[in-house]
Amino acid sequence: MMPTRLIPRLDVKGKNLIKGIHLEGLRVIGDPQAFARKYYEDGADELLYVDVVASLYGRNSLHDIVRRTAQDVFVPLTVTGGLRSVDDVREMLRAGADKVGINTAATKRPELIREVARKFGSQCMVLSIEAKRTSVGKWEAFTDNGREPTGLDVVEWAQRGVELGAGEILLTSVDHEGTREGFDTDLIAAVASVVPVPVIASGGMGQPRDIANAVRDGQASAIAMADILHYGRATLADIRAAARDANLDVRKP
């Protein structure tokens, strides 16, 4: 087993780092590059950039932010939002991203997953899934910050994405996102139990000890967190300590 990765999530609108609840009601937090640098210095294992208005404009506008971040942050960068083609992915990798997350374009044309994986490797291709619970043990995949339904069953879609070449799943619970109520461990476990690739759990981290539930009960390979870090309710050191207290394997910063 690889160590559980701690991944600050930076949702970006224009030039601003923002945060919402259920991916809505966005509030400006500050300069995303400054936060990225701080989290890197605090020992983040990776960083995740999400362009939250990319679907609205049909393009990802993070190239400049990613380019500047890559100059002084030396951990893997994953970028998601508005990437619709192999060319889009190529340009983002040239800007400094190590991996790309694709959601909307993949739901509309699943073959894009295979194309990206073949061109750049499965380790580069992250399938991003925004999940909403529809009934007990069932979730539907959404796009556009949890606003647009796809009709796709989350578990089935995750399996198909991996079959097409996705090397990782970024799994965001829209129901839990921003609520500080903890992760949807049932959702994480439902996906992690059927795919042979790492699952990044995102949405709902309220306190450092929530990491134990996501990893032990949900079998998450990595944790993406935003609110808890952005508002200073805990540091990466606090979360790493909580993981060690729960006997989870985490990297030493």
Work out the number of other CB atoms within 10 angstroms of the CB of residue 59.
Answer: 16
The residue from 11, 51, 140, 177 that is catalytic is: 11
The residue from 46, 51, 130, 168 that is catalytic is: 130
133-143 per-residue burial string, b: 16 or more CB within 10 A, e: under 16: beeeeebbbbb
Q: Catalytic residue at 181?
A: no
Q: Catalytic residue at 130?
A: yes
For the annotated catalytic residues, the residue numbers are 11, 130
